Amino acid sequence: MTNITRVGILGSGIMGSGLAEVAARAGYEVVVRSRSQAGADAVFTGLDAGLTKQVTREKLTDEERLAILGRITVTDDLSELALADLVIESVVEEMAVKKALFAQLDEIVQPDAILATNTSTLPVVELAMATKRPELVCGIHFFNPAPMMKLVEVVRPITAADETITTAIAFAGSCGKDAVEVKDRAGFIVNALLFPYLNNAVRMWEQATASMADIDTAMQGGCNFPMGPFALLDLVGLDTSLAILDALYDEFRDPNYAAVPTLRRMVAAGQLGRKTKQGFYAY
């Protein structure tokens, strides 16, 4: 099994910064790469603010906060991932962008380093084939918010070596997560089952069956879900949600996966949820 001590994270969005915190808390040396130095600095500032809040709430000591931050380096330079034993890519859900980054990374990291993607739906095998090390490529799919959510889906493309999957499962375990293994199919387990529900919730609201707040209240109270579908869509991000539905529809042609028009229009309007302070709700 590959011995992992250094973890590279590509992407400084919701998931990139969450993954950095998870890996640094687990004791790994972490390098986060953003496209701009400003973006990279913002990740560090955001992580510090989040950890400081936890110190205030006495969930973390100040020494622990400093130790976690001390293990995190941020950069805008891809070549600073050269020494990573494992890189987890977590940039925008667009195949062309991810493929180009995998090809570049393949030239930069050590020959035995594992390249993983945090994609929610895209075919991992296509990223594997963008490299000269398809046997060392897999999906390591964390959930949002990464520091809180217990589950990790380890995605096995047909090209992956058993050892790559074993190492990915062990890595997830070392981060305190429960890993499940799943084939490289759009949506894996969770999103393939979750997104028809979220999409149909928006459809139900479009049909004026009930108000948004009442649909959320109903699913919380009636199913014991921690939040309703609209609050969850805002948390995931409407652009990411639309990309997930489009990828699911592309693969399976199931009408339940065909994104409802409202979702597409809101994304076109830049109303992406919590991250833009306006989604189904205002923040």
Ligand X SMILES: NC(=O)c1ccc[n+]([C@@H]2O[C@H](COP(=O)([O-])OP(=O)(O)OC[C@H]3O[C@@H](n4cnc5c(N)ncnc54)[C@H](O)[C@@H]3O)[C@@H](O)[C@H]2O)c1
| Residues near ligand X (CB under 6 A) | 11-16, 34-35, 39, 90-93, 97, 118-120, 141-144, 236-237, 240, 275
**Residue of 118, 131, 125, 160 lying closest to 23 (CA atoms):** 118
The smaller minimum CB distance to ligand X, of residues 164 and 240, is found at 240
Q: How far is the CB of 19 from ligand X (least distance, A)?
A: 9
Helix (H) or strand (E) holding 129: none
Catalytic choice (141, 163, 199, 256)? 141
Least separation in angstroms between CB 101 and ligand X = 6
CA nearest 235: which of 198, 274, 280, 201?
274
- Output 11 or 157, the one with its CB closest to ligand X: 11
Helix then strand then coil, in percent of the chain rounded to 5, is: 50, 15, 35
Q: Is 241 a catalytic residue?
A: no
Q: At closest approach, how far in Å is the CB of 66 from ligand X?
A: 25
Q: Which is nearer to ligand X, 91 or 215 (CB)?
A: 91
Smallest distance, ligand X to C-beta of residue 191, A: 8
Catalytic residue among 118, 191, 199, 241: 191
Instruction: Note if 79 is an active site residue.
Output: no
Q: How far is the CB of 83 from ligand X (least distance, A)?
A: 21
Give the integer Cα–Cα distance in Å for 269 and 138.
34
Closest to ligand X by CB, 66 or 97: 97
Angle at 56 between CA 53 and CA 60, to 5 degrees: 80
Q: Which of 12, 17, 34, 120 is catalytic?
A: 120
Q: Considering the candidates 153, 224, 241, 251, report the single residue annotated as catalytic.
A: 153
DSSP state of 66: H
191 is catalytic: yes
Distance CA 58, CA 173 (A): 25
Q: Is 141 a catalytic residue?
A: yes
Q: Encoding tokens for residue 31?
A: 């390098």
**92 vs 213, beta carbon nearer ligand X:** 92
Distances (CA, A) of 11 to 134, 161, 185: 21, 26, 23
> Which active-site residues does the annotation give?
120, 141, 153, 191
